[in-house]
Chain A
Amino acid sequence: EIVLTQSPDSQSVTPKEKVTITCRASQNIGISLHWYQQRPDQSPNLLIKFASQSFSGVPSRFSGSGSGTDFTLTINGLEAEDAATYYCHQSSSLPYSFGQGTKLEIK
Chain B
Amino acid sequence: QEQLVQSGAEVKKPGASVKLSCKASGYTFTSYYLHWVRQAPGQGLEWMGVINPSGGSTTYAQKFQGRVTMTRDTSTSTVYMELTSLRSDDTAVYYCARELQGGGTWLDPWGQGTLVIVSS
Contact = CB atoms under 8 A, between A and B. Distances in A.
A89 interface: yes
Contacts, number: 57
A45 B110 contact: yes
Contact of A89 (B61, B107, B109): B107
Nearest to A92: B104
Interface string B56-94: 000101100000000000000000000000000000000
Interface in A76-96: 87, 89, 91-92, 94-96
A55 interface: yes
A98 B104 contact: no
Contact of B47 (A32, A49, A98, A101): A98
B108 A98 contact: no
B111 A49 contact: no
Nearest to A99: B44
A74 interface: no
Interface residues of A, number: 22
Interface size for chain B: under 10, 10 to 19, 20 to 34, or 35 or more residues?
A: 20 to 34
Given A44-B110, A89-B106, A95 B44 contact: no
Interface centre among B45, B46, B59, B103 (most CB of A within 10 A): B45
Nearest to A34: B106
A43 B112 contact: yes
B61 A101 contact: no
Given A36-B107, A50-B105, A98-B44, 9 more contacts: A32-B104, A34-B106, A49-B106, A55-B108, A87-B44, A89-B107, A96-B35, A96-B47, A98-B37
29 contacts: A36-B107, A43-B95, A43-B109, A43-B111, A43-B112, A43-B113, A44-B45, A44-B97, A45-B108, A45-B110, A46-B108, A50-B106, A55-B106, A55-B108, A87-B45, A89-B45, A89-B106, A91-B104, A91-B105, A95-B47, A95-B61, A96-B35, A96-B47, A96-B50, A98-B44, A98-B47, A99-B44, A100-B44, A101-B44
